[in-house]
């Protein structure tokens, strides 16, 4: 059967295990020889015990676990061509010509670069005698399918990335817990949530928790936000509300592009309104815990589709990313999506927020 490997890379997210499980089982079902590559690209470069054959039962009892059981890592060496050459050799030695990469835009960019260089690596390995003539002929192609695992929902082309829904559940639980104590003491709570340069987690959790104010990177507030914020908080208290909730996305900025931090917001509220104000930084709690039903199903569907895409690929087929589009699993050109995601980041850095939102599309 064809050699197929799956690995997780970059930041972890809930639902990655469901995807790994689906890849392994769909691969075996379709007659592939399936491998895990542990610790992302680092394991691919180190080879040896980091690349292990998987069987049907090696992915039993992982669907409910958060994070990734095969480990993830950031790997400097893979950024260098020589590192990628080592990785190529390790894959060829095991007859792996199909890869499912589960990670964020960095990991997917690396995968695409690896694929573009593949024939170069194979030539060079043959020249140096590190692979045989037979291996050279047999493994002259590499097919790649990507899955987006990220809690931030920051990738263009997919409605939801694997992990976002679970992170929202974690945030919601935390806010619900805080609301009950805030209510008792008439406090104002400022919650910092993750998302890097994407305000999705902040925006959705603000909506679902009846927050009074939200700061997100895509929509910097007007210059007089301190006055507007305080007026709103004051009105709520006058109307009889016993607590205030403010959500700050970790990537929130003002119109000059300077960060707006929870500390800054707190200072405004304390100085102007003298409200008893507390900050909670949710941090890695958002990435932890068991994946939601949505993320488990998403991981399963995306994983199965990735294997089917690889099995149908020809040497001319571009690397693809499996996306969720209106509840359908679709295959999109990996590099188009990565480039679009980079264009969003650039628009944000250039303070062209409307353009960024437009480019990002539905997600
Ligand atoms: P994420 O995949 O979550 O965006 P990173 O951006 O840290 O996380 O990328 C994870 C790993 O992918 C990096 O440590 C590196 O090994 C690899 N990688 C990222 N960008 C590239 C690139 N441009 N070229 C080669 N490898 C890359």
63 Cα: distance to centroid of ligand 1 (angstroms): 25
275 Cα: distance to centroid of ligand 1 (angstroms): 44
74 Cα: distance to centroid of ligand 1 (angstroms): 7
Alpha helix ranges (H) inside the chain: 16-29, 40-46, 81-93, 105-127, 133-138, 164-185, 200-208, 225-238, 262-273, 293-312, 334-349, 353-360
Question: What's the pLDDT score for residue 50?
Answer: 98
55 Cα: distance to centroid of ligand 1 (angstroms): 28
Is the C-beta atom of 192 inside 6 A of ligand 1?
Answer: no
- The residue assigned the tokens 């405004």 is 268
Contact (CB, 8 A) for 80 and 42:
no
Query: Going by CA atoms, what residue is nearest to atom 10 of ligand 1?
Result: 10
Atom of ligand 1 nearest to the CA of 41: 16
For the chain, 363 residues long, the average pLDDT of each consecutive 10-residue run is 96 96 98 98 98 98 96 96 98 98 94 94 97 95 96 95 97 93 88 96 97 97 97 94 95 96 98 95 92 98 98 93 96 95 94 93 67
DSSP conformational letter for 287: G
Q: What 3-state class would DSSP assign to 9?
A: coil
DSSP conformational letter for 340: H
Report the C-alpha gap between 117 and 324 in whole angstroms.
28
**What are 214's two structure tokens?**
């939200």
Question: What's the pLDDT score for residue 200?
Answer: 97
Contact (CB, 8 A) for 51 and 37:
yes
Q: Which of 152, 154, 165, 212 is catalytic?
A: 152
- The residue assigned the tokens 């928790």 is 209
Is the C-beta atom of 105 inside 6 A of ligand 1?
Answer: yes
Is the C-beta atom of 7 inside 6 A of ligand 1?
Answer: no
Widest pairwise Cα distance in the chain: 80
Atom of ligand 1 nearest to the CA of 104: 2
Question: What's the pLDDT score for residue 362?
Answer: 65
Query: Going by CA atoms, what residue is nearest to atom 19 of ligand 1?
Result: 106
Is the C-beta atom of 196 inside 6 A of ligand 1?
Answer: no
Active site (annotated) includes residue 154: no
Is the C-beta atom of 114 inside 6 A of ligand 1?
Answer: no
ipTM of this predicted structure = 0.98
Pocket-testing residue among 11, 75, 110, 149, ligand 1, by greatest number of atoms within 8 A of Cβ? 110
109 Cα: distance to centroid of ligand 1 (angstroms): 7
- The residue assigned the tokens 């994407």 is 198
């Amino acid at each position: 059967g064809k050699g197929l490997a799956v690995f997780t890379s970059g930041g972890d997210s809930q639902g990655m295990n469901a995807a790994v499980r689906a890849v392994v089982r769909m691969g075996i079902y379709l007659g592939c020889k399936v491998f895990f590559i542990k610790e992302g690209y680092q394991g691919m470069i180190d080879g040896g015990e980091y690349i292990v054959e998987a069987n049907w039962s090696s992915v039993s009892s992982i669907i409910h676990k958060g994070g990734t059981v095969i480990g993830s890592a950031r790997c400097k060496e893979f950024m260098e061509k020589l590192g990628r050459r080592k990785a190529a050799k390790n894959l060829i030695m095991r007859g792996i010509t199909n890869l499912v990469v589960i990670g964020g835009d960095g990991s997917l960019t690396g995968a695409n670069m690896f694929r573009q260089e593949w024939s170069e690596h194979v030539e060079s390995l043959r020249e140096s005698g590190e692979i045989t003539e037979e291996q050279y002929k047999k493994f002259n192609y590499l097919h790649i399918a990507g899955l987006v695992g990220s809690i931030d929902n920051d990738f263009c082309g997919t409605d939801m990335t694997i992990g976002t829904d679970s992170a929202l559940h974690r945030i919601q639980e935390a806010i619900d817990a805080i609301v009950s104590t805030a209510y008792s003491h008439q406090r104002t709570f400022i919650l910092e949530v993750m998302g890097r340069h994407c305000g999705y987690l902040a925006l959705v959790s603000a909506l679902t928790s009846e927050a009074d104010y939200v700061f997100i990177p895509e929509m910097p507030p007007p210059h007089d936000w301190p006055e507007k914020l305080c007026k709103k908080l004051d009105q709520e208290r006058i109307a009889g509300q016993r607590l205030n909730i403010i959500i700050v996305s970790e990537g929130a900025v003002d119109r000059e592009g300077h960060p707006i931090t929870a500390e800054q917001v707190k200072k405004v509220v304390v100085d102007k309104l003298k409200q008893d104000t507390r900050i909670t930084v949710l941090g890695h709690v958002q990435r932890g815990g068991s994946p939601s039903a949505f993320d488990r199903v998403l991981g399963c569907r995306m994983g199965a589709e990735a294997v089917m895409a690889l099995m149908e690929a020809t040497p001319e087929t571009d690397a693809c990313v499996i996306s969720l589009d209106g509840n359908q699993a679709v295959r999109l050109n990996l590099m188009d999506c990565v480039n679009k995601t980079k264009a969003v980041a650039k628009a944000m850095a250039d303070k062209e927020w409307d353009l960024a939102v437009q480019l990002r599309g539905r997600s």
